[in-house]
Amino acid sequence: MSFHRIKVQPVGIERHQPKKAGVFYHKLVQSWQHSQIGHRSQYSIERLLAFQDYHQRVSLSRAITVCIVTPIPAMLAALLVDCILLQPLSEGWKANYALWIRVFLDAFAVAMGLTIQVKEVIVTDAISHTGAAVIALGTAMAYISLAILVAALWRFPIPFFGVLSVVPMVFFVCFLTTVVVGPYLLISSPVLRQQIKSQLVIVGTQVLVAIIFRSSVRFSTASQLFSRLRSSL
C-alpha cells in the first residue's frame, strides 16, 4: 500500500468587517441616547418618586409651601432687575451703564443656577458654596466684559444678543467649574469626571433649547414686522 503526501494549506478565516453605514447609525443612536435628559433623572419618574418620599417625611402643608415658595426668589430677582431704568439706546453703549448692570445681574443669576444644578448631583464638597459664588461671579464678569467689547468694536445694540451670548456664557461656566474643582481632581476621580460630563450634556441640551426658543421668537417677530410692512405698501 502506498501513501501519498498531501500538503495542507492553512485556511484563512474570513472576517466580516462592519459596514460604515451600520457603525455610523450605531454611533448616532448611542449619541442620541446619551443626550436624553430623561435618562439622567431630569423630568422623569424619579423626580416624582423623590417628591413622594419627601411628602411622606414632612407634612402636607410644608410640601405645598415648598412648591409655592420655590419659584418666588427667581421671580423677585427678575422683577428687581427690570426695575433698573434704561437710557435711550441711541445714546450709545457708554451711556447705557444701567443696561450693563442688568446684563451682569442676569448673567450672575443664570451662572449661579447652573452651578448649583451641577453642585447638587456631583461628589459632595467638590464645589463649595464659595466656589459656586466664584464661578458665578467670574462668569458674569467675563460675560459682561465680552459683551462690552463686542458693543465697542462692532455695534450697539448687539444684534441677536440673546441668541449669540448663550454659548459664551456656558463656556465660561464650564471653564471656571474646571478651575474651581481642580484639573488634578478631575483626572484622578473617574466618578467625578463622569458626573460632570453628564451634567454638561444636560446643560448643553438646555442651552440648545434656549437658542431654539429665542431664535423662533426673533423669527416670529421679524415675520410679523415684514407682514405689516408688506401690507402698508
Task: Return all residues near 232 (Cβ < 8 A) that are at least 6 apart.
Answer: none
Place of cell 407634612: 59
**Residue 233: pLDDT band by 50, 70, 90 thresholds?**
low
Q: What is the mean pLDDT of residues 133-150?
A: 92
Percent of the chain with pLDDT over 70: 76
Residue 210, helix vs strand vs coil: helix
Task: Give the pLDDT score at 182.
Answer: 85
Highest mean pLDDT among 55-59, 104-108, 116-120 belongs to: 104-108
DSSP 156: S
Pick 163 or 35 by higher pLDDT. Answer: 163
Rg (CA), the chain: 27
Place of cell 415675520: 223
Per residue in 2-36, pLDDT (tens digit) is 555 555 455 554 555 556 667 777 777 776 666 55
Place of cell 409651601: 65
Cell numbers representing residue 109 in the block: 443669576
CB 129 within 8 A of CB 180: no
Stated length of the chain: 233
Task: List the alpha helices (DSSP H) in 70-189.
Answer: 72-82, 97-119, 129-153, 161-164, 166-181, 183-188
How many angstroms separate the CA atoms of 148 and 158, rounded?
Answer: 10
Q: What is the mean pLDDT of residues 135-140?
A: 92
Task: Give the pLDDT score at 137.
Answer: 94
Pick 101 or 18 by higher pLDDT. Answer: 101
Task: Give the pLDDT score at 6.
Answer: 53
Q: What type of residue is 77?
A: A
How many angstroms separate the CA atoms of 82 and 62, rounded?
Answer: 31
**Residue 136: pLDDT band by 50, 70, 90 thresholds?**
very high
